Structure 1
Amino acid sequence: MLLSMQGISKSFSGVAALRSSSLEIAEGEIMALVGQNGAGKSTLIKILTGAYHRDEGSIRFNGRDIAFASPAESQAAGIATIYQEINLAPQRSVAENIYLSREPRRYGFLDRRSMREGAQRVLKAFKLDIDVERPVASFSAATRQMVSIARAVTQNATLLIMDEPTSSLDEREVAVLFDTIRTLQGNGVAVCFIGHRLDELYAICDRVTIMRDGQTVAVSTMEDMPKVELVRHMLGRELAAFAAISRDGPEGPERPVRLDLAAVGSGVRVRDVSLSVRQGEISGLAGLLGSGRTETARIIFGVDKLERGSIRFEGSERLYSEPANAIADGIGLVSEDRKVDGIVPDMSIRENMTLALLPKLKKSGIVDRARQDAIVERFIKSLGVKCASSDQPIKELSGGNQQKVLLARWLCTDPKVLIVDEPTRGIDIGAKAEILKLLRGLADEGLSVLMISSELEELLAAADRVTVLSDGMSVAELPRQKLSEANLLTAMAHQVN
């Protein structure tokens, strides 16, 4: 076995990121490493490469026990990592990047000829014929990735770690990359392939290691791991664990569509998404990591440019060039990461809650404080925000109460459509139930809600219908009567009948 990591544990400020996890990779093997956000994949790799130090466990690489003190040590030992954001010097040449910090010298001077010929030779092995003296920035993402791989090969790497290597590539470029990986495998190089596109994993990988909540939960050959089983392991669900929660009363008539997406696309992340959000309903949006859920929300809200397809709002076609256009139509977005894109931590609850409403609260450029206070107090009361006062800094609130303030930020603008991306992430179980109950109540009052969630039980509990995305495409729409965990898992594995 080339690599054996056993019993690896790591905590940050008392919070366990890894709990007795493991990873084994044989010589010349292509191992898939998969898991949702927060599963522990990145932490495990950073411990292997010396960026983090493990709290417990053992690591053997190439027949000896190791504990790298830095990434440079792991690189010298034969482990090369190619990250999703390719780490090259964009204005330097291809040859310079391949030999960066290891430049060949002759009589003490830089030997540019040897560097050029060496770069050409290694790239030729990958069937890539380019001008190695051109700046890296002038080439496509796929070519830049090949340059990163070539750099690893010239370092005599025996293990190549590739983090989401296909995320910015088109189908032709992916095919070239896979040919390169197979060439490496034929030369005895092992590859740890961190990815989320199931079809690609089954096309290129020999085995799969699945992580969830900081633990290794399954290891299998790809042929012995059906897609539905792989998804189940990633999400930690048993098919019978949750039943779809039906609401009282018979099915009513179809409600009018407020927001309609038809064959929407942008770049390689969103390729062909169609979905409808109806008045007074919660429309769920499901899919594995990298399926295009958040990117779809960004297109709707005008953060990212719509390149293909159409968006219709209340029957009229729209092209939102910026969020202000979407907000003017009555669309709000509670983003996935409230700490990065949501709250302003040092500002008060009052200031955070009324950020989107400020233009309407101003008179002659001055905020109408009395009106602002009235609105804030009303939503603190109606949403049950637990706080000392509206002047309390929002960073002092619990995660659940911060999320309520962000919901209130958009509710006070009186929206028609509210997009909530992972509305219960990072909050306790009691607060999760409160948020879901709140969203359900808002929908019952006529608000249209698009709820993006990785939690299947949340979608089953709250949604009236769920659209499932896979690899940037809509692959299923499940109305309430067909909502079940089995149907959701099957669709997410892209095995649609």
Structure 2
Amino acid sequence: MMRVSERTAAGAGLAAAAYHVTKRFGRTVALDDVGIEIHDGQSHALVGRNGAGKSTLVSILTGLQAPDSGKVVFGGRPAPSLGDRDGWRRNVACVYQRSTIMPELSVAENLFVNRQGRTLISWSKLRRQATEILESFDVKVDVTTPASDLSVEQRQLVEIARALSGGARFIILDEPTAQLDGPAIGRLFEKMRTLQANGVTFLFISHHLQEIYEVCQEVTVYRDARHIITAPVSELGRAELIDAMTGEPGGLSVPGATDRDLVDPAGAVALDVRNLSGDSFTDVTFQVRAGEVIGLAGSASSGKHQVAETVYGLRRSTSGAIEAAGRKVKPGSVPAALRHGIGCVPRDRHHQGLVLDLTVAENAAMTVMNKLGPGGFVPPGRMTAVGARAIGSYDIVTSGPDQPVADLSGGNQQKVVMARALAGDPQVLVLINPTAGVDVKSKESLLGVVDRAARAGAAAIVVSDELDDLKVCDRVLVMFHGRVVAEFGRDWTEHDLVAAIEGVSER
């Protein structure tokens, strides 16, 4: 095991470092004597399972929290005091998975948030300076554009430009690709390489392990609040990396459709989508039979998310029909979808899947409240029982059913969303980005739930940008510019699937 120890007092060649950092929250040890050294001009990956301590380290590296013991240095100099926010901004900036861009402000206004002081604002000067900033970092965005109109990719680039313009040369990217499609990820990586060549340093946090091999030079693994290993990426194989993250040999085991019996092509149709049109898609038709899992693949602009959200009632179709077990489903109505046995893991767990202030039990029971007690009144014992069953069935790491879901790691929050979706034993399950932002073992667990649901006779739709997620599918439909352009069976290859997603070939 390679440990992080203090180098020379000058910290030569290090953009940032943390030494012997420990942080506790009550009885929970979030970091236990950990360290990290990030070299100038590199992209350094920080990986680990949900709850490993990554987020706590980021909060300490950005000055949002002080460690109980240990220290942080930038370029060999001690970090500023917590109250010196300008000092921290000159040393480090973080682009979070959940954007800190303010949607009601323009791009120019976002670039200068907290930087105007008490002086009277000259709007023409502000817009001119904003344009100069974006041009200097080759970010092609109109500074007068409302931030709410930006794509996810544009928001991230604006945040990076804002950080660099404030003087920081060390940028933390926290799950930056979670909401990007393939081409946008490629453009982000190219931007990172260009900035690295100009002396910018990145700490790159991702659950997509392949990305680490594409863009990073070193990797540090945390597990159970401890530092496990730091090594050059070129010297650490994927299986070794997963072993370090999980503490278990054998790497990731994702359930595959080939392990299940073939679905009878004449079997009962659980979901029938006919000539469906709506926001960003046109004339989509497919059927899903009982016990079958189909995937919807495509770029971010393909319409795949919108189709899935329309099936569940989060969006209203403009034409076409949806039937569940032969009964027509009222369009644009989540309650109607639930009554027809359709459950959903939505795209955004924080805004659509969970009520963060409520407990594990309350969230898990949300779709079956009408079955637990008359008039919406649920006896506490029944609520607790639902929570306890969810914890046991989905391996949710929590102190108990009464713990607020806001206190859980991302992977365990996603398991609560899955428990909520399956609480009513739906016959059709719609899963949108079901493993986004979760660690490798949580991914294995969540996909295992899909596999078990199919074996029990449920139908499922899996919408994902991650090819591993699609291995559980019996068929994969590829969408391109709002239409289904290709269909693959269980024997799909990565080459053919990616080519269809990118519009290189249609079959």
Same topology, TM > 0.5? yes
Cα deviation code 1:301-321 (max 9, x no counterpart): 4447899x9987447897863
CA distance in 2, matches of 1:4, 1:160: 13
Contact 1:49 1:71 in 2 (8 A): no
Q: What is the identity, as a one-letter code, of the residue corresponding to 1:477? A: V
Match of 2:370 among 337, 341, 356: 356
- Structure 1: distance between partners of 2:252 and 2:105: 55
Question: Using the alignment, how far apart are the partners of 1:13 and 1:278 within structure 2?
Answer: 49
Mark the runs of 5 or more structure 1 residues left unpaired by the alignment. 245-250, 269-274, 286-293, 362-366, 374-389, 405-421, 430-434, 480-490
Q: Secondary structure at the match of 2:227?
A: strand
- Distance in 2 of aligned mates of 1:36 and 1:260: 38
CA distance change for structure 1 residues 204 and 23 in 2, over 3 Å: closer, same or farther? same
1:290 is matched with which residue? none
Of stretches 298-307 and 22-31 in structure 1, the one that deviates more from structure 2 is: 298-307
Change (3 A) 1:80 1:455: closer
Unpaired runs of at least 5, structure 2 = 1-13, 256-260, 281-285, 296-304, 401-414, 436-441, 475-490, 498-507
Instruction: Tell me if structure 2 keeps the 8 A contact 1:306–1:319.
Output: no
Q: 1:4 to 1:295 in 2, by over 3 A?
A: farther
| Equivalent runs, 1:31-430 vs 2, <5 Å | 31-66=44-79, 68-70=81-83, 72=85, 75-103=88-116, 109-112=120-123, 114-239=125-250, 258=270, 301-303=312-314, 313-314=324-325, 321-332=332-343, 340-341=354-355, 355-357=369-371, 367=374, 391-392=379-380, 400=388, 423-426=394-397
Please tell me the residue identity of whatever aligns with 1:185.
Q
Instruction: Report the Cα offset of residue 342 of structure 1.
Output: 9.8
Q: Distance in 1 between matches of 2:242 and 2:279?
A: 25
CA contact (8 A) 1:242 1:457 kept: no
1:346–1:395 contact (8 Å) kept in structure 2: no
1:14-25 mapped onto 2 (5 Å cutoff):
14-25=27-38
Residues 44 and 464 of structure 1: CA distance in aligned 2, closer, same or farther (over 3 Å): same
* Letter paired with 1:400: A
Percent identical pairs in the alignment equals 27
How far apart, CA to CA, are the structure 2 residues paired with 1:236 and 1:167? Answer: 25
**C-alpha distance 178-333 of structure 1, shift in aligned 2 (>3 A):** closer
Distance 1:121 1:4, change over 3 A: same
SS state of the match for residue 158, structure 2?
helix
Structure 1 position 183, deviation (Å):
2.6
Partners in 1 of 2:194 and 2:69 — Cα distance? 36
> What is the match of residue 471 of structure 1?
465
> Partner residue of 1:408?
none
Worse-matched range after superposition: 335-344 or 1-10: 335-344
1:67 shift after superposition: 6.2
Q: CA shift at 1:24, angstroms? A: 1.9
| Higher Cα Rg, which structure | 1
Deviation at 1:450, TM superposition (A): 9.4
Structure 1 CA distance for aligned equivalents of residues 31 and 200 of structure 2: 27
| Letter of the 1:11 counterpart | R
TM-score (normalizing by structure 1): 0.61
Return the offset for 1:186.
1.7
- SS in structure 2 at match of 1:7: strand
Provide Cα deviations, 1:237-288, integer angstroms capped at 9, x if missing partner: 32299999xxxxxx899686746999x9x999xxxxxx99876x79899xxx
